[in-house]
Amino acid sequence: MSEIEIVQPEDWGFNLKKPLMIAGPCSAESPEQIDKISKGLQGAGVDIFRAGIWKPRTRPGSFEGIGKEGLEWLKIAKENLNIPISVEVANARHVEEALECGIDILWIGARTTVNPFSVQEICDVLKGVDIPVMVKNPINPDLQLWLGAIERLSAVGLKKIAAIHRGFSNRYITEFRNAPEWSLPLRLKEMVPDISIVSDPSHICGNRECLADVSQKALNFGLDGLMIEVHHDPDNAWSDAQQQITPQTYKEMVDRLIIRKSIDSVPELRSDLASLREKVDQMDKQLVEILAERFTYISEIGEYKRLNNLSVFQKDRWKEVTDSRVNMGVEKNLSEDFMRAMMMAIHEESIKQQEDMLEKK
């Protein structure tokens, strides 16, 4: 992966700080709406005001955004709050109209990130333009698409880049509208160490009930801010009514959030953790040694199967092993999900090694 040069939000020229707090309605509906919401957010510590102007909907017929005329309305929020304004762009025309209107920050939505053609079209228009761009994760849990959009922006000279974690589609019915899959934004940070990642609990939850919990969890994981949808009359919002909250509820929720420190900001605490981390390092070495020894027996089993013309996968044995190991882990206070994921990873590696053995022999 090519090196990506990132300028942090603190250096975007808007007097921003972390955690970055972004708030505003799902969609701009009228000048009066923008005025009421932005005045309601005065004193709430909002760093960026957001609003959707063009709304890509799953199916036609529902409200798809007010369009270009709504861009001018956002200047009302800028005057009321004296902070930058941001909108979602999905194609070259959106970018051109947003730039013409003086929008401060752009974001690329999940439905656009999933399409490299659309992302490249946006990048082509932004070449040579010094404007911050935030990239939402794609709808599906595809880290390469997310990273690819960031790389495309970097390739045309943009440096003021951030990411937005809005969760991922899940075919199963859960408490979330979009599963958070917390490991994916953390992996993106590993791949682009300087990237700031803001979480979007509104789209993760899809409801008001779990907003506070997901917001706190995002900060606990070390993400760099929150994007929350706020409306002066959520029940009558023209889009995503169920996941928006009032300015007053937003203020109360933010006041209750606990801001976690980065270990880098408190270097004196690092030594206190050193001994515990050393113990973890030693145990990790033991784990690797035990796994390596386990796979020597797997190799012997594979050879036995080859000599006796047995199939690699034995369903009954796999179920027996998985269930018993999961139960062992649960008894030791490890989660069932973790144990099943670990056993699946071990099983897949075992199958791969045995298949390789059969092919070589």
Mean pLDDT of 120-128: 97
Over residues 318-336, the pLDDT tens digits come to 889 899 999 999 999 999 9
Mean pLDDT of 93-119: 97
- Please give the pLDDT value at position 1: 45
Nearest to 63 by CA among 236, 261, 303, 212: 236
Same domain, 274 and 255: no
Do the Cβ atoms of 87 and 52 come closer than 8 Å?
A: yes
Query: What's the residue count for the chain?
Result: 361
Do the Cβ atoms of 41 and 49 come closer than 8 Å?
A: yes
Same domain, 19 and 141: yes
Do the Cβ atoms of 242 and 207 come closer than 8 Å?
A: yes
Name the pairing type of β-strands 48-50 and 20-24.
parallel
Assign residue 253 the CATH number of its domain: 3.20.20.70
The domain boundary residue, chosen from 260, 295, 310: 260
Please report the sign of the dihedral spanned by the C-alpha atoms of residue 291, residue 295, residue 297, residue 298.
Answer: positive
Indicate whether 162 belongs to any domain.
yes
pLDDT at 32 over 60: yes
Do the Cβ atoms of 205 and 170 come closer than 8 Å?
A: no
Helix and strand totals (H; E) in the chain: 13, 8
Q: How does residue 278 score in pLDDT terms, banded at 50, 70 and 90? A: confident
Do the Cβ atoms of 112 and 142 come closer than 8 Å?
A: no
Same domain, 340 and 323: yes
353 CB burial (10 A radius; 0-12, 13-18, 19+): middle
- Please give the pLDDT value at position 235: 96
Domain housing 46? 9-260
Nearest to 185 by CA among 136, 229, 148: 136
Cis peptide upstream of residue 19 (ω within 30 degrees of 0)? yes
Please state, in angstroms and rounded to a whole number, the distance separating the CA atoms of residues 222 and 203: 19
Mean pLDDT of 179-187: 94
25 CB burial (10 A radius; 0-12, 13-18, 19+): buried
pLDDT at 227 over 80: yes
Please indicate whether residue 263 or residue 234 has the higher confidence score (pLDDT): 234
Indicate whether 39 belongs to any domain.
yes
Q: How does residue 175 score in pLDDT terms, banded at 50, 70 and 90? A: confident
pLDDT at 264 over 90: no
Lowest average pLDDT, out of 110-114, 182-186, 263-267, 313-317, goes to 263-267
Percent pLDDT > 70 in the chain is 95
- Please give the pLDDT value at position 59: 66
Mean pLDDT of 144-164: 97
Q: How does residue 33 score in pLDDT terms, banded at 50, 70 and 90? A: very high
Indicate whether 345 belongs to any domain.
yes
Same domain, 161 and 293: no
Indicate whether 2 belongs to any domain.
no
Same domain, 95 and 23: yes
Name the pairing type of β-strands 225-229 and 196-199.
parallel
Same domain, 76 and 222: yes
Please state, in angstroms and rounded to a whole number, the distance separating the CA atoms of residues 104 and 50: 10
Indicate whether 1 belongs to any domain.
no
Same domain, 104 and 31: yes
Same domain, 148 and 81: yes
Assign residue 329 the CATH number of its domain: 1.20.59.10
Lowest average pLDDT, out of 184-188, 205-209, 350-354, goes to 350-354
Please indicate whether residue 190 or residue 60 has the higher confidence score (pLDDT): 190
Number of domain units in the chain: 2
Same domain, 242 and 310: no
Please state, in angstroms and rounded to a whole number, the distance separating the CA atoms of residues 221 and 328: 28
Same domain, 41 and 160: yes
Indicate whether 193 belongs to any domain.
yes
- Please give the pLDDT value at position 265: 60
Q: What is the mean pLDDT of the chain?
A: 92
Indicate whether 4 belongs to any domain.
no
The domain boundary residue, chosen from 260, 279, 300: 260
Q: How does residue 304 score in pLDDT terms, banded at 50, 70 and 90? A: confident
Q: How does residue 267 score in pLDDT terms, banded at 50, 70 and 90? A: low
Indicate whether 3 belongs to any domain.
no
Same domain, 251 and 276: no
Q: Where are the alpha helices (DSSP H) in 134-261?
A: 143-155, 183-191, 201-205, 211-220, 247-256
Same domain, 112 and 218: yes
Q: What is the pTM of this model?
A: 0.80
Measure Cα distances from 199 to 20, 281, 349 in Å: 10, 30, 33
- Please give the pLDDT value at position 262: 65
The domain boundary residue, chosen from 195, 226, 260: 260
Mean pLDDT of 82-99: 97
